[in-house]
Each structure stands twice: as structure tokens, then as C-alpha cells.
Amino acid sequence: MGSKSKALPKGISAAEFDKAVREMRAIVGDEHVLVDEEKLAPYRKIMMPVPDEQHELSASVMPDGVEQIQRIMKVANKYRVPVYPISTGKNLGYGSAAPVQRGQIVMDLRRMNRIIEVDPELCTALVEPGVTYQQLYDYLQEHKLPLWFSCPAPSAIAGPVGNMVDRGVGYTPYGEHFMFSCGMEVVLADGQVLRTGMGAMENSNTWQVFKWGYGPTLDGIFTQSNFGVVTKMGMWLMPAPPDFRPFCIQYPNETDITKIVEALRPLRIAMVIPNAVVIAHTLWEAPCTPVKRADYYTGPGAIPDDAVKKIQADHNIGAWNVYAGLYGTKETNDANWKIIEAVAAGTGGKIITQEASKGSKALEYRFDLMKGKPNLGEFGLYNWRGGGGSIWFAPVSQAKGSETLKQMQMAKTILGKYGFDYVGEFIVGWRDMHHVIDLLYDRSNPEQMEKAYACYDELLHTFAKEGYGMYRANTAFAEKVAATYGPVKRDVEKRLKKALDPNNIIAPGRCGISL
Ligand SMILES: Cc1cc2nc3c(=O)[nH]c(=O)nc-3n(C[C@H](O)[C@H](O)[C@H](O)COP(=O)(O)OP(=O)(O)OC[C@H]3O[C@@H](n4cnc5c(N)ncnc54)[C@H](O)[C@@H]3O)c2cc1C
């Protein structure tokens, strides 16, 4: 055949690689192994500030089932070629579909896209990795099932397995996706198939309803790791509530964030507000409204505060825009609505209801996400600056007002030093907050690429010094982020890797784990 691959796996000769590819072709069929540069192009579109070559794949293999994956594992072990599993491959801003290290073979699970079961009484689903949120949504609509799920912002194209495996989040009361997953099937590097929780027991019918099983709970080790290929996942669905009342509360000043968090945290912990509360800054809302940066500022450096104020005034956007919802009956929501009104009045916020939101793109996509209706409204972010560069900087903090201004000021100062805007939001999960910042830059501009890398690096290390760790990170910074969590945790991960994958063939380097 003669290897056409642009990037062979480290230490593997072209001849050995060709043999591995030939054997994989015999397993999945010729058309389901790609090596031609052109055909691999969609996997290559990274948004991170590092050269494409760093994450260049050698091939893509697309199995159609567990048995094919088991056989691929054998080949990978035999030739020591690393495989990088992806489900729907839309990990945009975290590494997209490209492998964590150059030369890995992407194992694309898109053909495994069966919705295996939906139980309308227990409100559970069992899905394969290639299932998209849109597909699941359409299924529930077609079968007239009044069930909702929680999804991330790029829901129309992403899927529940990939999102959960990377410990992603969404916007309904089931928004902590790993917490609301129940039961996994995993193909291990040696080809064994593990079912977690109750799934380990033959004839059990409780796999999707009881997560823990007996003995150590293993599910967590298959998230943000590289210890296996997840081939099925159970997830809990939410009964559509009789009454759903999403709302936005807008605040005029950046400093209002302190009192917002103090006022809303107790409601979140007590579950008066049952979903994650998103507190979005003006510059997150503006691009999704849509507003173009160039209409307000074309000078050097970060956009100045007076231009941000002008955007707020011109487009009715708050300095902070709080999104949450009430999910219940009319009676319970009427009662809780009074609490929300009192909080807004007491903190100087202006409530925007669903009725009043009509016509605002930013509000409409958020309100849809809060009921698990897939859309792509948040992709407006990429029109802000243009050029296709984006990495998420996402430190965790306590859900306390005092944390917000401190983190925002730290981030704004560092971003400003490199000429980037603060495009951020705080998400009050339960007792924690994810502070999510989209570092937007022009990937076609080498100077901005360099600055974006240096900026992320400084953000990471400055925040780590203050004790703030990332909830999730892009593949280019996996090693550096893992290092901020200290040597003992890493040593344990390495020992697990050695025990489960001694030839280091599943996604070496993912989340900093490798032999
Ligand atoms: C505008 C925008 C908004 C976003 N908003 C959100 C948001 O609200 N919440 C959120 O969580 N994310 C968000 N994201 C990030 C990301 O796009 C989503 O998390 C998305 O769901 C991840 O892609 P995916 O589901 O296709 O997973 P994949 O890309 O398929 O997988 C993610 C990673 O998990 C690993 N993996 C995947 N499948 C398997 C498997 N079967 N076995 C073992 N390992 C596997 C791989 O390393 C992979 O890279 C956003 C991105 C953009 C561009």
C-alpha cells in the first residue's frame, strides 16, 4: 500500500504502520479506515494556539460495534499504535476531534449511533457514543415522549457520551452530566468489556437506575482519562415539567456580580432554582445578540470599558445577565417566582421573562438550552473577533461573591496584557462555580497565536498559584494542567494506566496521563 500518512505514530515505521492499517481495514472494511490527507481534513480543524502539526493524526478508523473495537485493540497492542477515541468529535475549544498527540489514530465512533433503549416510566436512556443530542431530541419528539435531557451549548452537533466522558455541563436541573449518567460499558485495552455498576451482573435490570453496584465505583476513572473506550452510556432523562419558567435578570454594573452570587447561591443550594445559574458578562452576550467587535472598537489591545458600556446601552445588555429557570407546577412556580422577584428587586436587577425575550437571539437560545432544546446559538461567539481561534479557560471556585471579582480582575488583567477581551461567564453549579472564559483570537495571525498561547499559560499558572484549578482543559495544555494537581494524583493515574493499558495504546497524553 505504501503509507500515505503525514504523521506516523512516534517510533513506528511506515511499514509497521501500514500493516496495522491493513489489519484494521480487514476488521472494519476499507472505506472505514481513512489515511488520505484530504479525507482527514475535518479531524484537523483545531482552534488551539499551537501548530496543526502538533495534533496531526495518522489515520481514522470507524468501528461499528464492540466486537470490532475489541479486535482493533488487539491490532493496536500488536503494533503499539496509539488510538484516540472520539464520540461525536465536537470538543471545540478543548481540542476538537484531533488527537492529543501527533500520530495517533483517531477512533471515530460516529457509526455507533444507536439509541438502544428509552424507558419512559423510569425516564432513562441507554445510548451509543455516536448519538447526537439532536438525534435523541428527534427520537423523543417522534415517539411523543414528554422527556427532557440536559445538553451543552453546541448540542445540535455534539453528543451525550463524548460530553459526559469529558465531564461537560448543561443547563437543565440535570446539568452536571456525569452525575446524571448511570452505567457505562467500556472496552479496555486488553479487549475485555466492562460494564460498570449493576451492569456487571448478568440478568440485572437495574443498570440504568442504580449507579453504584458493589465495591469501588469505577465510572469516574473512565472520565477525563484514557483507561478505556466507552461504548454505551446510561443517562437519566427528566420528565417535562407541567410549568417551565425561564428568566433572565440583568444588572447594570460589573461590581454587581458579588451580590448576585450571594443572593442566588442559597436558592441554588436549596434547589428553589434547580438548574445551574449562568451569569454571563456583556461580552459573552454581545456576539450572540449579535454585535460585532469591529463596530465598537478597532484599536490595539483589549476593548476598552467605555466601548463595553456603549454596547450595553445600545443593545439592552446587562453588565451581567443571569439565566436560570423554575421547573414545577404552576402553583409551585407561582410561589417561587415571588422569591425570584424579591431577589431581583433587592439586588437592583431587571427581570426579563420568556414573553419579553421574544426577538432576542441571545435570550432565546439560552431559554431553549434550559429545556434541553438543541441549538447552535452560542456559535455567535466566533463572529466577535473572527479568525477561528478559541480556547476555554475554565477555573473552578467556591460559589461565593468574594471569589468573583477577584477572579474576574485577575483574568481581565492578564487577558488585557496580551490584548484580549474578557469574554466570560460564571456558572453556579451547586456549591461551586465554573468561571468559563473564551479566549478568542485570530488563528490566522501568527502574533496572536503566540500571544494566545502565552496568555493561557499565564492565566493557568497565576490561577493555580491562588489555588484555582481547571475543571477541564484543551489537549495542548493537558500536561501543564495535570501538573497543577500535584505529583501524587499523577502517580496514581500512571499506576492505573500501567495496570489497564500497559502498552499505552489508548490516547496517551490525554489529561496528562501516559506511560
Ligand atoms: C460555542 C461553544 C459552546 C460550548 N458550550 C459548552 C457547554 O455548554 N458545556 C460543555 O460541556 N461544553 C461546551 N462546549 C465544548 C464542547 O463543544 C462540548 O463539550 C461537546 O459536547 C464536546 O464534544 P463531543 O460531545 O462531540 O465529544 P467528543 O469530542 O466526541 O469527546 C470529548 C473527548 O472525550 C474523549 N472521548 C470521547 N468519546 C470517548 C469514548 N467513547 N471513550 C473514551 N473517550 C472518549 C475524547 O478524548 C474526546 O476528545 C462548547 C463549545 C463551543 C464551541
**In contact, 247 and 352? CB cutoff 8 Å:** yes
Contacts of residue 112, defined as CB under 8 A and 6 or more positions apart, other chains included, come to: 63, 64, 65, 128, 129, 130, 231
Does 1 have pLDDT greater than 90? no
**In contact, 429 and 171? CB cutoff 8 Å:** no
Q: Which residues are catalytic?
A: 94, 471-472
Cα 510–chain centre separation: 15
Q: pLDDT higher for 461 or 359?
A: 461
CA distance 223 to 239: 26
Ligand 1 proximity of 76 Cβ (cutoff 6 Å): no
Buried b (16+ CB within 10 A) or exposed e, 216-228: eebbebbbbbbbb
CA distance 62 to 103: 17
DSSP-derived 3-state class of residue 219: helix
Using alpha carbons, select from 273, 248, 270, 293 the residue that is nearest to residue 425.
248
Strand partners, 322: 249, 279
Q: Please state the atom number of ligand 1 nearest to the C-alpha of residue 97.
A: 29
The alpha carbon of 92 and the centre of ligand 1 are apart by a number of angstroms equal to 7
Give residue-wise pLDDT tens across range 85-103.
Answer: 999 999 999 999 999 999 9
Ligand 1 proximity of 369 Cβ (cutoff 6 Å): no
CA distance 240 to 147: 5
Give residue-wise pLDDT tens across range 236-264.
Answer: 999 999 999 999 999 999 999 999 999 99
Ligand 1 proximity of 510 Cβ (cutoff 6 Å): yes
| Separation in Å, CA 418 to CA 218, 315, 372, 390 | 42, 27, 36, 15
Ligand 1, atom 16, residue with closest C-alpha: 91
Matching residue, cell 490516547: 507
Strand partners, 130: none
Does 499 have pLDDT greater than 90? yes
DSSP-derived 3-state class of residue 351: strand
Give residue-wise pLDDT tens across range 320-357.
Answer: 999 999 999 999 999 999 999 999 999 999 999 999 98
Q: Please state the atom number of ligand 1 nearest to the C-alpha of residue 160.
A: 25
Ligand 1 proximity of 238 Cβ (cutoff 6 Å): no
How many residues are listed for the chain in this entry? 515
> What one-character DSSP code corresponds to residue 115?
E
> Which amino acid makes up residue 321?
N
**Stated pTM of the model:** 0.97
**In contact, 257 and 279? CB cutoff 8 Å:** yes
Ligand 1, atom 41, residue with closest C-alpha: 230
Quick one: pLDDT at residue 357?
Answer: 86
Quick one: pLDDT at residue 451?
Answer: 98
Contacts of residue 120, defined as CB under 8 A and 6 or more positions apart, other chains included, come to: 145, 147
Give residue-wise pLDDT tens across range 465-490.
Answer: 999 999 999 999 999 999 999 999 99
Quick one: pLDDT at residue 171?
Answer: 98
| Pocket perturbation via mutation, ligand 1, pick of 72, 83, 90 by most ligand atoms within 8 A of CB | 90
Ligand 1, atom 32, residue with closest C-alpha: 162
Q: What is the mean pLDDT of residues 152-171?
A: 96
Q: What is the mean pLDDT of residues 6-23?
A: 94
Quick one: pLDDT at residue 283?
Answer: 97
CA angle 21, 92, 484 (to 5 degrees): 95
The alpha carbon of 101 and the centre of ligand 1 are apart by a number of angstroms equal to 17
CA distance 426 to 321: 10
The alpha carbon of 91 and the centre of ligand 1 are apart by a number of angstroms equal to 4
Quick one: pLDDT at residue 511?
Answer: 98
Buried b (16+ CB within 10 A) or exposed e, 453-487: bebbeebbeebbeeebbbbbbbbbbbebbbebeee
Ligand 1, atom 29, residue with closest C-alpha: 89
> What one-character DSSP code corresponds to residue 89?
-
| Percent of the chain surpassing pLDDT 90 | 97
Ligand 1 proximity of 62 Cβ (cutoff 6 Å): no
The alpha carbon of 2 and the centre of ligand 1 are apart by a number of angstroms equal to 34
The alpha carbon of 169 and the centre of ligand 1 are apart by a number of angstroms equal to 10
The alpha carbon of 154 and the centre of ligand 1 are apart by a number of angstroms equal to 9
| Percent of the chain surpassing pLDDT 70 | 99
Q: Please state the atom number of ligand 1 nearest to the C-alpha of residue 109.
A: 41
Of the pLDDT bands very low, low, confident and very high (cuts 50, 70, 90), residue 512 is very high
Using alpha carbons, select from 20, 48, 128, 112 the residue that is nearest to residue 505.
20
**Is the preceding peptide bond at 290 cis, omega within 30 degrees of 0?**
yes
Ligand 1 proximity of 150 Cβ (cutoff 6 Å): no
Quick one: pLDDT at residue 3?
Answer: 65
Matching residue, cell 432523562: 237
CA distance 411 to 389: 18
Going by their DSSP bridges, the two strands 83-86 and 105-108 should be labelled as parallel
CA distance 418 to 331: 51
Q: What is the mean pLDDT of residues 129-135?
A: 98
Give residue-wise pLDDT tens across range 357-390.
Answer: 888 999 999 999 999 999 999 999 999 999 999 9
Give residue-wise pLDDT tens across range 178-225.
Answer: 999 999 999 999 999 999 999 999 999 999 999 999 999 999 999 999
Ligand 1, atom 22, residue with closest C-alpha: 91
Ligand 1 proximity of 511 Cβ (cutoff 6 Å): no
CA distance 346 to 360: 26
pLDDT mean across residues, the chain: 96
Contacts of residue 186, defined as CB under 8 A and 6 or more positions apart, other chains included, come to: 193, 194, 195, 196, 222, 227, 228, 229, 230, 231
Give residue-wise pLDDT tens across range 414-448.
Answer: 999 999 999 999 999 999 999 999 999 999 999 99
Phi-psi region of 83 (alpha: psi -120 to 50; beta: other; left: phi over 0): beta
Q: Please state the atom number of ligand 1 nearest to the C-alpha of residue 507.
A: 47
Of the pLDDT bands very low, low, confident and very high (cuts 50, 70, 90), residue 2 is low
The alpha carbon of 280 and the centre of ligand 1 are apart by a number of angstroms equal to 21
Give residue-wise pLDDT tens across range 49-84.
Answer: 999 999 999 999 999 999 999 999 999 999 999 999
